[in-house]
Structure 1
């Protein structure tokens, strides 16, 4: 199980300015095995402790947050995206470059977050538990960003830890794509999220 982040895990703004280039390079390299394009317009960014530390550090830097209350708010916002040992957690990005195309597509993709799945070979698909922090769909459109958790059974965890293939996909009526199986580097990175 990954520990949640505390204030002690974070750099001060001054120290972060010093270490940022090296830390950012480390995180970008780490993220390469955690980003999964699913078809042409959906990308799943699988989060973990390091990706969330980076996100928090960047928020603190951008917003010039140095007071305890603000730091705690960032920790409370992002700690839930760190896997708990029995799940994968991801940020889903629904991406269309053209603004008008995006508007039309997001209207057709309502509920896409609930049709997104992970599958450990030999087991049923696990559909996302999405947007636990707040509702991101309206009656007119879905959001271009969703936060999701894929909760695995103990047998799925054991199989994934033992090397079973992992696949991901979306089976929405207006967007059906899958990645079967995930490349080995990504599969191994995700398996490390499990206790």
Structure 2
């Protein structure tokens, strides 16, 4: 599994100098790795670049420079890097109005397990959600989930041959399908696969 190490990270001082340019680079990179599923759900597909940025930002915010603290951040975020046979995404459920958001998160309970992707010519692959910790309770789901889509070798081969990649959600309170994601997004995601 690909892993970031302490040696791959910048010191707080170096990151402070490089942050403006790196942040601009990462924002452009994230745009190519983002899929909007309807008006309220966004999938941001993670990779080494997005996770490196997240770790560097957390270290910066928390002013962490001790080896143990840096390793704690690496341990938290490294599992979100795809490892060749899967795609991993942060799922964000967004409703600007707090009252509407609270009501919708109740109605959308279990949505994180109803997200799918489909390689043209193959069956849907349902997300494996929140492997690190439970993010819902008996009443509602969370507005943030971490998803893993495990792909078979034939699916990966078909994608690498140029087959379309679609995504969607089949939840009674939120159903949406994107038959084919943007070409630049697909190129970026296929690069995660071996």
- After TM superposition, the score normalised by the length of structure 2 is 0.99
Structure 1 residue runs of 5 or longer lacking an equivalent are: none
Partners of 1:48 and 1:80 in 2: how far apart? 10
Match of 2:52 in 1: 53
1:86-125 matches, within 5 Å, as 86-125=85-124
The CA deviation string for residues 136-179 of structure 1, in whole angstroms up to 9 with x for no partner, is 11011000000010000000011111211101100100000121
Partners of 1:176 and 1:31 in 2: how far apart? 24
By how many angstroms is 1:88 displaced? 0.3
Match of 1:152 in 2: 151
Partners of 1:76 and 1:126 in 2: how far apart? 27
How many pairs were matched up? Answer: 194
Moved over 4 A (4+): none
Partners of 1:27 and 1:114 in 2: how far apart? 28
Match of 1:39 in 2: 38
By how many angstroms is 1:3 displaced? 2.4
Partners of 1:183 and 1:107 in 2: how far apart? 31
Match of 1:72 in 2: 71
Secondary structure of 2:137's partner?
coil
- After TM superposition, the score normalised by the length of structure 1 is 0.98
1:19-30 matches, within 5 Å, as 19-30=18-29
Partners of 2:2 and 2:80 in 1: how far apart? 12
